[in-house]
Structure 1
Amino acid sequence: MAGRQDTARRALVTGATGFTGGHLARALGERGYAVRALVRDLQAPKAQALAAVGIELVEGDVGDAPAMLRAAEGMTHIFHIAAVYRSANHPESYYFLINRDSVTHVLAAAQAHGVERVVHCSTCGVHGDVAEIPANENTAFKPGDVYQRSKLAGEEIARQAMAEGAPVSVVRPTGIYGPGDDRFLKLFRTVENGTFRMFGSGEIAYHLTYVDDMVQGLILAGEHPAAIGEVFLIGDEHYTTLNALVEKVAATLGVKPPRWKLPVAPLMAAATVCEFACRPLGIDPPLHRRRVAFFTKARAFSVDKAKTMLGFQPQVALEQGLARTAGWYRSMGYLKSTEAVQ
């Protein structure tokens, strides 16, 4: 692990084999923390990659209270990043097990072991399709799908603990992207090969966060004295529109931006049919309603609270972040090489 370990600061990271959790775990190690990761499979490649940089592995699942209790022993900090995201092949009960019930397990383990700080990672999605532009931490909740509902249920548990005096902070990220992420790969690929189609006007607001900036916000939430008992939206300093985002991706890739726009209603209808057809088979449908929401739901938030209270300052502009992400995709062979583009 890079950096000197400070045994006075010991952090448990859940979700460390995932995109954001992995970046956070490595950053904490570089910052001097002794880092422990709760992982389901000790031998999985992503878990072994963490071990290779000096991160301690503990086997277990966030939905299992005894496993969480064991993992939290001796920790000064817990960063609860693990979540089940937008996959349609899970029953709703599984979303609530991971996104809600795990919060109870984390808080109980933290209390049992005297953990000094807990950071719970929620989502800006608890606000749903925002009418207030930009929305802030006090904007009304309007979750639009099972992921958002289950994340809100988990956040409510964390906020109740805060109200009772627990040393907890809640972070609501906007859309996280960067090297190591594959959620935006389809956007990059379809823009590159000319098959991308905008559904709807494309003027809907969208808000991204480069992963390094997200990690900065999470660490500030776990270290700054003012963060205890508070909720923070973390994102880029500026939101954009889908049209502008697609144009920037095209410029990054050196291709012409797509111009075709199609109505969104038929796509939503197709997604609904696809979901109901695939659900009895227990498979993740290639198209579902939560993906269509990308084209229809406004995402635009103020990060002023985090800037004012924590000193949060986004460092990576959208154009720079997209370039870094495209570079990683190319290095992995997911996109054409630079030579091929030229």
Structure 2
Amino acid sequence: MTQKPIYLVTGAGGFVGSHLVRYLADRGVRVRAMVRKPEQAAALEGLAEEVVIGDLQEPETLAPAVSGVAGIYHIAAVFRQEGLADEVFREINATGVRRMLDAGIEAGVPRFILCSTNGVHSDIDHPPADENYPFNPGDIYQQTKLEGELIAMEYFHEGRIRGLALRPTMIWGPGDGRMRKLFRMIAQRRFFYIGRGEALTHWIDVRDLCAAFKLAMDAEELNAEAFLIGGATFQTLRETTAEIAGQLGVKEPSLHLPVAPMMTLAWLTEMMCKPLGVEPPLFRRRVNFFLKNRAYSTDKAEKVLGFRPKQDLAGEISDIIAAYRISGDLPDNTNIQSREMHP
């Protein structure tokens, strides 16, 4: 019997990549998972059929990863990390895309699905934005992700390989380490706003995002298109935190700090910490989290890809909290309610 095709997932050791490996495997898809460090392989045993070591900064390691695969889900990237030189972001998020494309073409891989980001648009003046909204990256991460997307689109348009780019909105879901601090601060009643808390947030559950990736891979007739992938609704930051607080059984955050002094403090903190190689406790990007509108139209993804998110905000938050409690990253309801009743 002919063996089913196998698909490569890069960045399989990360949050999105590991969820995608599980999502595909649960649906009977053969998966080869690419991780950068050998110690990341153990967590993928029993999920991926194969695990390979590959590094976007070492092109010679990519050929074994792409050999014989029917398609590449390119998730690997370096996210926002303080202290990294701009050249590192560019080598991984832009040049790394080119290296994966070249390796895939050399191996005869027919399809490439790129994980881009809504950050190529950054702050939205007149929400919601669609895929035609002007590019306006706000930091080195967003800038290099845009560069990577443009490289991929060039290859797609030239017919060197076929593929699509997905621009996820604000990704979260069970097991998300990046959101842990937000939930813990709300649970401990230490969360505060910078500004009014009225900036728009648009979340996408990682499980819905995985479904969008598979739809994109399966839509072989589509090429050189970009799609914004987001949840069914967007809401203000205050509405998001109010829902989290309600499910945690604590009061909604109410402290609001002024923007200008906090932005100045963030700038000063960065200036003092960076020469010492220390990650600053407050930086301008974190302040901008409270200020930028991120709200998008996902009509194109629905009409063209057939993508419709199954999750909703309340359910997503409930699942995230449950996962944090299982992992010990959040206390249980009894402890939280006790602190609320006896401050």
Matched, 1:246 2:277: no
Q: Residue 323 in 1 paired to residue 318 in 2? A: yes
Matched, 1:107 2:114: no
Aligned with residue 188 of structure 1, among 183, 188, 194: 183
1:224 CA drift (Å): 1.4
CA displacement at 1:53 relative to structure 2:
2.7
**8 Å CA contact 1:9, 1:34 repeated in 2:** yes
1:16 maps to: 12
Query: What's 1:148 paired with?
Result: 142
2:28 equivalent in structure 1: 32
Please name the residue that 2:166 is paired with.
171
- Residue 131 of structure 1 aligns with which residue? 125
Paired amino acid for 2:143 = R
Q: Which residue of 1 aligns with 2:331?
A: 336
Residue in structure 2 matched with residue 122 of structure 1 by the alignment = 116
Query: Partners in 1 of 2:59 and 2:126 — Cα distance?
Result: 38
The question of whether the paired residues in 2 share the 8 Å contact of 1:7 and 1:34 is answered with: no
| Structure 1 unaligned blocks of 5 or more | 1-5
Where does residue 271 of structure 2 map in the other structure? 276
1:210 paired to 2:208? no
Deviation at 1:226, TM superposition (A): 4.2
In the aligned structure 2, how far is the partner of 1:275 from the partner of 1:136?
A: 33
Q: For the Cα contact (< 8 Å) 2:8–2:71, is it kept in 1?
A: yes
Distance 1:108 1:250, change over 3 A: same
Identity across matched positions, percent: 42
Aligned pairs, how many? 335
Amino acid at match of 2:75: I
| Residues 138 and 33 (structure 1), Cα distance of their counterparts in 2 relative to 1, 3 Å cut | same
Q: Distance in 1 between matches of 2:304 and 2:16?
A: 23
Report if aligned partners of 2:33, 2:48 keep a CA contact under 8 Å in 1. Answer: no
Deviations 1:144-170 (A, max 9, x none): 101001101111101111211221110
Q: CA deviation at 1:284?
A: 2.4
Partners of 1:64 and 1:102 within 8 A in 2: no
Cα distance 1:226–1:233, how it changes in 2: closer, same or farther (>3 A)?
A: farther
2:128 maps to amino acid: P
The one-letter code matched in structure 2 to 1:29 is A
Letter in 2 for 1:135: A
What is the DSSP-based 3-state SS (H/G/I as helix, E as strand, rest coil) of the residue aligned with 1:295?
coil
Matches of 2:136 and 2:221, distance apart in 1: 27
Deviation at 1:89, TM superposition (A): 1.6
Q: Deviations over 1:261-313 (max 9, x none)?
A: 11122222222222222222333222222221111111000111010011101
For the residue of structure 1 that corresponds to 2:12, the secondary structure is coil
Task: Show structure 2 runs of 5+ residues with no match.
Answer: 338-343
The separation in 1 between residues aligned to 2:3 and 2:96, in whole angstroms, is 26
Alignment-derived partner of residue 3 in structure 1: none
Off by >3 Å, runs of 4+ in structure 1: none
TM-score, with normalisation over the residues of structure 1? 0.94
The answer to whether the 8 A contact 1:168-1:228 is kept is yes
CA positional deviation for 1:227: 3.4
SS at match of 2:41: helix
**Aligned equivalent of 2:293, options 285, 294, 298:** 298
Give the partner amino acid of 1:76. Answer: A
Question: Does the CA contact (< 8 Å) of 2:66 and 2:107 recur in 1?
Answer: yes
Q: Which residue of 1 aligns with 2:192?
A: 197
**Deviation (angstroms), 1:190:** 1.1
2:11–2:36 CA contact under 8 A, matched in 1: no
Structure 2 residue matching 1:85: 3-state secondary structure: coil
Counterpart-to-counterpart distance in 2, 1:317 and 1:7 = 37
Distance in structure 2 (CA, Å) of the matches to 1:39 and 1:231: 26
Pairs within 5 Å for 1:255-266: 255-266=250-261
